[in-house]
Amino acid sequence: MNSITTEDLDIAYEDAMIVKSLDINIPKGKVTTIIGPNGCGKSTVLKAVGRILKPKNGMVYLNGDDIRKLPTKEIAKKMAILPQTPTAPSGLTVSELVAYGRFPHQKGFGKLTPEDKKIIQWALSVTKLTEFENREVDTLSGGQRQRVWISMALAQQTDLILLDEPTTYLDLAHQLEVLELLYDLNRRQGCTIAMVLHDLNLAARFSDYMIAIRSGKVIKHGAPEEVMVPEVLKEAFSIDAQIVLEPKTGRPVCLTYDLLSAEPAGEKEV
């Protein structure tokens, strides 16, 4: 079963068509990563399936339901969306930001119930943020702030979390910290994770399913072993990649790569 399915999806910014006739599936209960070169439409696709961006044509189904017909609050109970480099209002504490995740479940004046508070504490505990709950978000490190946003998404208690480049601007250690947290949430809590990543090796290491896109079209989808191959990376990124299996994880790794020459050697224009 799929959490998200698209059919003949066209996405445009005004008159500029970014994605044309896109058919993708995001498997339920798996970690899925969308990869592709800059400007290929990765983030655009994520915004469309998250109903942040209205498609020009085509369908998006959330757990089999037409997403256009679902009330916004109902979607927020089923799907959490973390945009690229989210920002919190100045002075907001960690627990206050995480509490925003309870909004879809609140009624009336939105006062937190004992159940809401219990879930907030659980989300803080899972993301190892309990000791920071009274700290202001803008005093934390980049990796810690990213964990706060993930904690907020967990407080929504959705089965699906969409993340647009969650490791942007993070150093190597914090990238691993965030991706290991997401992987653990998938394995322990059963959350379906769908994200956009630039780092191919991290994508292959932490994903069950990968979707390679170029110019708004799917080049290849499947397990990392099927997508992280020279032929696919050549078509998606215009690179000649050397792929090996990493001995610790058994996952494919791009060891090195070269740019493909735009023109045959000796035929350059003068």
Q: Is the pLDDT of residue 162 over 70?
A: yes
Kindly report, residue by residue over 57-93, the tens digit of the pLDDT. 999 999 999 999 999 999 999 999 999 888 888 999 9
Long-range contacts of 11-16 (CB under 8 A, 24+ apart): 11/41, 11/44, 11/45, 11/48, 11/53, 11/55, 11/56, 11/216, 12/56, 13/44
CB 45, CB 24: distance < 8 Å: yes
pTM of the predicted model as reported, rounded to 2 decimal places = 0.91
Q: Which pLDDT score, from 0 to 100, does residue 264 have? A: 45
Region 243-254: mean pLDDT is 95
Q: Which pLDDT score, from 0 to 100, does residue 85 have? A: 82
Kindly report, residue by residue over 10-38, the tens digit of the pLDDT. 999 888 899 999 999 999 999 999 999 99
Question: How close are the terminal C-alpha atoms of the chain, in Å?
Answer: 55
Q: Domain residue spans in the chain?
A: 2-259
CB 77, CB 19: distance < 8 Å: no
- Fold assignment, 2-259: Rossmann fold (3.40.50)
Q: Which pLDDT score, from 0 to 100, does residue 108 have? A: 66
Kindly report, residue by residue over 108-121, the tens digit of the pLDDT. 667 899 999 999 99
Average pLDDT score over the chain: 92
Q: What amino acid occupies position 111?
A: K
Region 129-152: mean pLDDT is 94
